[in-house]
Amino acid sequence: MTAVIPKVKVFLKKTQLINRPGMSGKIAIVGAFDSLETEPQLFNTVGEAQEKFGTDDTYNGCAVVPYLFKGASSVLAVNITTENEGTRSKTIDVTNLATALAKIKNEEWDILFIAEPLTDTFIPIINAYVQERFENKYPCGYIGALTGTTEANVTSAGLVNDWCYGLITQAFTVDGKSLSVLLSSAYYCGLIAGMNVGNTFTYKTIEGVTAVSPELSFETGGNGKALLEAGIITVRCADRNNQRYIVVNSEQPNGWDLYINRTRDYIVKEMSLHQFLGEKNREATLDEIRQELDRVKEMCVNTLDLLEDINFTVSKKSVNCVDVYIDSLVFAGIITEIDVYVKIEVI
């Protein structure tokens, strides 16, 4: 008989991260993966994604997924890879982009990432898509890479609508590894997914980034100033000795800060009111709708401190329709200038 040495085994089990109140961390990605799977796939960890869709970094989808999971609670992936006579196509075009987006049109997620640099052909398609989702109460924003010249990137930013959460044109060095602009935008997307929607990135340290290329000038006539004014995310060195890099301003092409765009979409999603469809249209129901909207207001304004106030009205439009007007979302501004006055006395 062999004696048994008593022991205790400990296993680490990864569990799904659930979106906490104030978080919108579900990312949807359209890209090429090392697979011919055509149906959307939901992943809760990098390991799950790599097991199903592969690890070959020559496929942009495979390359960006680990960076998205820097903060994503889940990743919903749509693969555009096709094969013809043994040759695989890994490139996104207008047709397969539209087809892929249609597959996840009515699903619940928060941020769209395209695993290929955005082009002036792609942007109008994405704009129309996210606007339709907003109107159908599935609001989301998108983040992407621009790889043209400064002038071309400024032009591209001018095509972007209200549902943009970030356009990246610089290549980051993260934890000693130099990334492409596409991978840098995926890294940024992952960080945003892990942030409370009420947080701004203006003048905040971008975690893990120890260098950027190119380093931009923000003087008059500088490329940094042109990109900044176009609402493109720009990063600069704040402390070279400690390798600390900051986002200069997270204002988006629509002129609003990142936190305003994300909070707006979060509130619209919370005010979905889908549970009232099919109910009788009477005063008691209108009161219940008002109470639900008051609950959302209390949570967003007082509990989560996402904004200053929400003003709304509810009324019966017809026997079949109720009008809900969100009259105003009141946001606090972002401090971008501090004047310090110094008086010196010599006695």
Whole-angstrom Cα Rg for the chain: 23
* Mean pLDDT in consecutive groups of 10 residues from the start of the chain, 347 residues: 71 55 95 97 97 97 98 97 94 96 96 98 97 94 98 98 97 96 98 97 96 96 96 97 96 96 95 90 94 96 96 94 93 91 93
Structural domain harbouring 300? 272-347
pLDDT of residue 272: 85
Tally of CB atoms within 10 A around 313:
11
pLDDT at 173: 98
Q: How is residue 300 annotated by DSSP?
A: I
Same domain, 66 and 127: yes
The answer to the question of residue 115 being in a domain is yes
pLDDT at position 15 is: 47
252 and 278 inside one domain = no
Angle between helices 122-135 and 94-103 (to 10 degrees): 20
pLDDT at 12: 53
Alpha helices by DSSP H, the chain: 46-53, 60-68, 94-103, 122-135, 150-157, 181-193, 223-229, 258-270, 283-297
192 alpha carbon, distance to own chain's centre: 6
Q: Which two tokens stand for residue 229?
A: 């004014």
Residues 209 and 291 in one domain: no
**Per-residue pLDDT, 3:** 72
As beta bridge partners, residue 171 has 213
Domain boundary residue among 259, 281, 306?
259
333, 229: one domain: no
Distance CA(336)–CA(214), nearest Å, equals 24
Q: What are phi and psi of 116, to 5 degrees?
A: -170, 145
| Residue 302: predicted pLDDT | 96
Q: What is the pTM of this model?
A: 0.91
